[in-house]
Amino acid sequence: MRFRTTLRRRRTALAAAAILAAASLAACSGSGTAKNDSGSPILTVANGQTGQFTRNFNPIPQTANTPTYGMIYEPLLFFNQGKAGDIQPWLATSYKLSADGRTATFQLDPRAKWSDGQPLTAEDVAYTYQLAKDDPKLNTGGLEYEAIKVLGAHEVSITTKAPLYTELWSLAGRTYIIPKHIWEKVKDPSTYQNPNPVGSGAFMLKSFSSQTYTVVKNPRYWQPGKPQIGGLRFVMYGNNTATLTALNAKKLDWAGLFVPQIEKVYASKDPHNKYINTPLFVTELTANTKAFPTDQAPVRKAISLAVDRAQLNKLAFSGYSPPAGPSFLSQRDQGKYLDPEVGAVSLKADAAGAAQVLADAGWKKGSDGILRDGQGRKLTITAKVVTGWSDFINALQVIQQELKPIGIDFQPQEVSYASLTADRNNGKFQMLIDNAYGGPQPYQMFKYLFSKKLYRPVGENAPGNYARFTDPAIDTALETIESTNDEAKLKPAYAAIQKVSAAQLPYIPLVYASSLTEYRDTRVTGFPTADNLYAIPEIWQAPDSGYVAMRLKPVK
């Protein structure tokens, strides 16, 4: 299951950091994954899940097992988040947007068929979207559908109430097409476990138990020559230490786990131990702009100035996380959309400058060394962080030390994950450390951070915009981006957002969040590399892991 993996992958290993080095030493020899699979190997992969697997392969809820998304079921298009604007055909060979952007017409690949031999047609595609249109329970994309039309055996058009320029990812990249002839007999598709999935994808479920399951090559797969590997076996190791041990013992071919000092404890152990870091998201301090003292722009600015991001990367993030600036653009999008003015903002720590900003705003140091404003209120900030997320906790401790000499009393506070989520959504915090999430366009992250549509007053559950920050320039810019695909209009709109972000800093950018994938190239090659990032190679990244798996080549 995609999301449950993520917590553990990053952080639990750190908690056991002391044990790690020993663990990898201990794993000197292993019998290896050697299976007699003559040319089409079954890879062993760990997606970081712990506890137990349950036999759930229903692609509609967001909780099914990893291979459901992309390996067994397929979307219409593939959105490569590794490259700006890279959209590849999948079930659809091409698509066209209408002039008003509200209607998307898809040409389906006529070769596509289900693993039971039936052809995949426009009827199946229309059925999939009709389910979401008719039942809000199944509308996990949250799109407002207006009409879904079958235009031919392999042609479908979908019309929504709002333009699709920024929603195409949700519509065509993250909706998985299901076979009508099977699902129309299902009573409640939202709670159906789909234990024996029939999909169009390159892999099929072969065996299942609560500790391991295997998907194998679909012999009828419609894309010629794919997949070349025999399949994938999903295993779980309980915790990151055990996963790393298995990786070093050559028992795993593909894993995604956070490993501190990866060169030392993994990469240097064997020339075939490879890894790739694909940072997509930005780790930031979310400031509650509706609570004192984080509602004061000078305070936010001073913190941003005082933080030494390079030091943070070194001390808290094992050196995998390059400093991030207030543009909030992923490294992928900077070439295209970075505003030169915002891009020129120095990310060097400047404690003197920070002190000056606060002095100019009227803050004066008290006898205890803590700043006070004109009304005598102390500059004390509580920053929430999830218990056990040691990289985030370390980061806050580093920041605490850096802010102390300036006179900011910065106090990290550890809370449970559910509690942090609730406090964040309801605006009950001053500051917290979080990752800002995005998608294939910069729009998704900007919407998540700044959208007026996601804004809720303090005390109400907000779906995004947790800083509770709105600005008319941002609203106009987001509206423009939603309503056009004209680059000449997009560039200034994106620039406008970056300018407000840099001036107001409702979110203080820290670093790009690392995302490590470990793989061994003894049995297969063809994983995405830094030079050829044709997909995000994370095993839990959907549908990318399926897109990658069917392109892997066995080593002869």
Q: Is 288 in the site for other proteins (CB under 8 A)?
A: no
**Nearest approach, Cβ of residue 4 and other proteins (Å):** 6
Decide whether 212 or 525 has the Cβ nearer to other proteins: 212
- The tokens for 383 are 């920053």
Scanning 94-102, 185-193, 363-371, 496-504 for contacts with other proteins by CB under 8 A, the matching segment is 185-193
Measured over the CA atoms of residue 486, residue 489, residue 495 and residue 497, the dihedral's sign is: negative
Shortest Å, Cβ 238 to other proteins: 2
**Structure token digits, residue 36:** 């007699």
Instruction: Choose, by CB under 8 A, the member of 196, 411, 461, 532 that binds other proteins.
Output: 461
Distance in Å, CB of 436 to other proteins, minimum: 9
Task: Decide if residue 235 touches other proteins (CB under 8 A).
Answer: yes
CA distances from residue 128 to 56, 115, 125, 406 in whole angstroms, order as listed: 18, 17, 5, 57
- Exactly one of 88, 98, 411, 416 binds other proteins (CB under 8 A); which one? 416
Question: What is d(CA 180, CA 85) in angstroms, rounded to the nearest whole number?
Answer: 31
Q: Out of 141, 319, 322, 343, point to the residue binding other proteins (CB under 8 A).
A: 141
Q: Is 140 in the site for other proteins (CB under 8 A)?
A: yes
Q: Does 88 engage in binding with other proteins (CB under 8 A)?
A: no
Nearer to other proteins, 142 or 459 (CB): 142
Of 345, 343, 338, which Cα lies nearest the Cα of 491?
Answer: 338
Query: In this chain, which of 147, 153, 352, 422 binds other proteins, going by CB under 8 A?
Result: 422
**Which stretch in 179-187, 347-355, 362-370, 412-420 sits in contact with other proteins by CB under 8 A?**
412-420
Q: Which of 179, 201, 439, 442 binds other proteins (CB under 8 A)?
A: 439
SS3 category, 363: coil
Interface residue with other proteins among 87, 242, 297, 495 (CB under 8 A) is: 242
Only segment of 114-122, 136-144, 361-369, 504-512 that touches other proteins (CB under 8 A): 136-144
Nearer to other proteins, 439 or 442 (CB): 439
| List 107, 218, 245, 278, residue binding other proteins (CB under 8 A) | 245
Shortest CA distance to 537 belongs to which of 523, 521, 516, 522?
516
User: C-alpha distances in angstroms, 94 versus 88, 107, 156?
Assistant: 9, 5, 11
Nearer to other proteins, 347 or 449 (CB): 449
Give the residues across from 431 on adjacent strands.
Answer: 287, 383
Burial string for 432-468 (b: 16+ CB within 10 Å, else e) reads bbbbbebbbbbbbbbbbbbbeebbbeeeeebebbbbb
Where helices occur in 307-439 by DSSP H, the ranges are: 309-316, 331-337, 340-343, 351-360, 390-403, 417-426
CB 522, min distance to other proteins, A: 17
Scanning residues 246 to 285, which ones bind other proteins (CB under 8 A)?
251, 281
DSSP states of 406-465: TT-EEEEEEE-HHHHHHHHHHT--SEEEEEE---SSHHHHHHHHH-STT---TTS--SS-
The residue to which tokens 């920024």 are assigned? 166
* CA dist 417 → 110, 284, 420, 466 (Å): 46, 17, 5, 16
Return the closest-CA partner of residue 507 out of 268, 308, 284, 236. Answer: 284
What's the closest the beta carbon of residue 142 comes to other proteins, in angstroms? 2
Exactly one of 88, 94, 196, 210 binds other proteins (CB under 8 A); that residue is 210
* Contacts (CB under 8 A) with other proteins, residues 24-63: 26-27, 31, 44, 50-52, 54-56, 58, 61-63
Phi, psi of 308 (to 5 degrees): -95, 95
**How many other C-beta atoms lie within 10 A of the C-beta of residue 276?**
17
| For residue 227, cis peptide bond before it (omega within 30 degrees of 0) | yes
Question: Nearest approach, Cβ of 86 to other proteins (angstroms)?
Answer: 16
Encoded one letter per residue, x for contact with other proteins by CB under 8 A and - for no contact, window 331-350 reads --------------------
The nearer residue to other proteins, 58 or 121, going by C-beta atoms, is 58
458 contacts other proteins (rule: CB under 8 A): no
Contact characters 504-523, other proteins, x per CB under 8 A: --------------------
- Residue carrying structure tokens 């004209």: 486
CA end-to-end span of the chain, whole Å? 32
Instruction: Fill in the DSSP letter of residue 68.
Output: G
Q: Minimum Å distance from CB 357 to other proteins? A: 32
The answer to whether 386 and 415 are in contact (CB under 8 A) is yes
Based on the shown chain and the rule CB under 8 A, indicate whether residue 459 belongs to the binding site for other proteins.
Answer: no
User: Binding of other proteins at residue 119 (CB under 8 A)?
Assistant: no
542 binds other proteins (CB under 8 A): yes
- Residues 148-177 contacting other proteins, CB under 8 A: 170, 174
Question: Quick one: 139 or 470, whose CB is closer to other proteins?
Answer: 139
